[in-house]
Amino acid sequence: MSNISPRVDIAFKKIFGVEENKDLLISLVNSIVSEEDQVIEVTLLNPYNPKSFRSDKLSVLDIKAKGHDGKRFNIEIQISDEADYDKRALYYWAKLYTEQLKVAEDYSNLSKAIGIHILNFTSIPEVDKYHNVFHITEKDSGLLYFKDLELHTIELKKFTKDSNEELSDIIPKVRNSLDMWVAFLTRHDLLKADNLPQALNDDSLRKAITVLDVMNFSPEEREAYEDHLKWLRVEANTIKKPESRARAEGAMNRNIEIARNLLAEKMEIKSIVRITGLSEEEIRKL
């Protein structure tokens, strides 16, 4: 049982974003997308690289992959509840889609792009289910015309809100492979690779637990992990974004509150600048 959380993006990418674990990524993607978008092989477009932490310990750690049929996937686990996250998701999708074309290539070369956003917070309070799928459809008829756009949101806290839940509370919730992966991401601390209940008795899950249990970090990775983990802990105790979306003033106040908490955790000012978007001068005034 590992003390490393797979909800921290560094650990998540080290599990799913390396060549030797592509089978885990395939299992995760196939648990999310429709039957027509299932993949049998993927090419990692930005595999995990520990050297990146020497230059940017708080870099974005999404996973980009191309399926055997050319479809593109962007998988991101998001720690913090950011204002305008919906816009960020669209921006990531647009980059994923447009990066396919090289100069002078024809639009017919573009393949479907699927954005998968695993969120450690509630982003869509209007809906109870934790997995939602979005397309562009015609307003009146519901016709799906622009078929290349697809966005998934997976809100982990809708699966399990109570950190005191036992394994016996989790098992009844597991009805499909996505439930299995969400159980791993939220309550890995309850799972043992050599003693999985029937509902979770899956070779891919067993391998993911083992990978997490033996995961080692370099000094740069460990420092980055701890910074991201602090962010995760602080976010859980910081002002929550209103359901109506935080306005600019509210977002600023929230970043100030986060900065104060991170200062109390003795995080470096440069790291706090990257996280909050506040200037060094603003942070020093705090």
pLDDT tens column, 86-129: 888 999 999 999 999 886 688 988 999 999 999 988 889 899 99
What is the SS3 assignment for 180-246?
HHHHHHHHHHHCCCCCCCHHHCCHHHHHHHHHHHCCCCCHHHHHHHHHHHHHHHHHHCCCCCCCCCC
Domain stops at, among 216, 248, 273: 216
Q: Are residues 202 and 278 in the same domain?
A: no
Q: Are residues 22 and 93 in the same domain?
A: yes
How far apart, in whole angstroms, are the C-alpha atoms of residue 227 and residue 8?
A: 10
pLDDT given at position 54: 54
Angle CA 41–62–42, to nearest 5: 5
Q: Are residues 202 and 252 in the same domain?
A: no
pLDDT given at position 227: 77
Domain coverage including residue 202: 9-216
The answer to the question of residue 62 being in a domain is yes
Q: Are residues 159 and 253 in the same domain?
A: no
What is the rounded average pLDDT for all residues in the chain? 86
**pLDDT tens per residue across span 215-248:** 988 888 888 788 777 766 665 555 444 444 444 5
Q: Are residues 81 and 179 in the same domain?
A: yes
pLDDT given at position 60: 59
pLDDT given at position 250: 64
The answer to the question of residue 2 being in a domain is no
Query: Which of the listed ranges 83-87, 106-110, 127-131, 261-265 does the model predict with the highest average pLDDT?
Result: 127-131
The model's pTM? 0.79
For residues 176-204, give the mean pLDDT.
Answer: 95
How far apart, in whole angstroms, are the C-alpha atoms of residue 170 and residue 190?
A: 9
Q: Are residues 158 and 254 in the same domain?
A: no
pLDDT given at position 137: 95
For residues 264-270, give the mean pLDDT.
Answer: 82
The answer to the question of residue 4 being in a domain is no
> Which position has the higher pLDDT, 201 or 233?
201
pLDDT at 268 over 50: yes
> Which position has the higher pLDDT, 133 or 243?
133
Angle CA 71–74–76, to nearest 5: 160
Contact 9, 79 (CB under 8 A): yes
The answer to the question of residue 181 being in a domain is yes
Tokens representing 190 are: 């309850």
pLDDT given at position 79: 76
Total domain count for the chain? 2
pLDDT given at position 168: 92
Helix residue spans in the chain (DSSP H) = 9-16, 22-32, 85-98, 156-159, 167-170, 177-187, 203-213, 219-236, 248-264, 269-276, 280-285
Domain stops at, among 184, 216, 248: 216
Q: Are residues 210 and 253 in the same domain?
A: no
The answer to the question of residue 197 being in a domain is yes
The answer to the question of residue 192 being in a domain is yes
Strand 72-78 versus strand 131-137 pairing type: unpaired
Q: Are residues 19 and 119 in the same domain?
A: yes
The answer to the question of residue 3 being in a domain is no
Q: Are residues 45 and 159 in the same domain?
A: yes
pLDDT given at position 97: 95
Q: Are residues 40 and 73 in the same domain?
A: yes
DSSP assigned state of 101? P
* Cα atoms found within 13 Å of the Cα of residue 238, Cβ hemisphere only: 26
The answer to the question of residue 232 being in a domain is no
Q: Are residues 173 and 245 in the same domain?
A: no
Q: Are residues 23 and 81 in the same domain?
A: yes
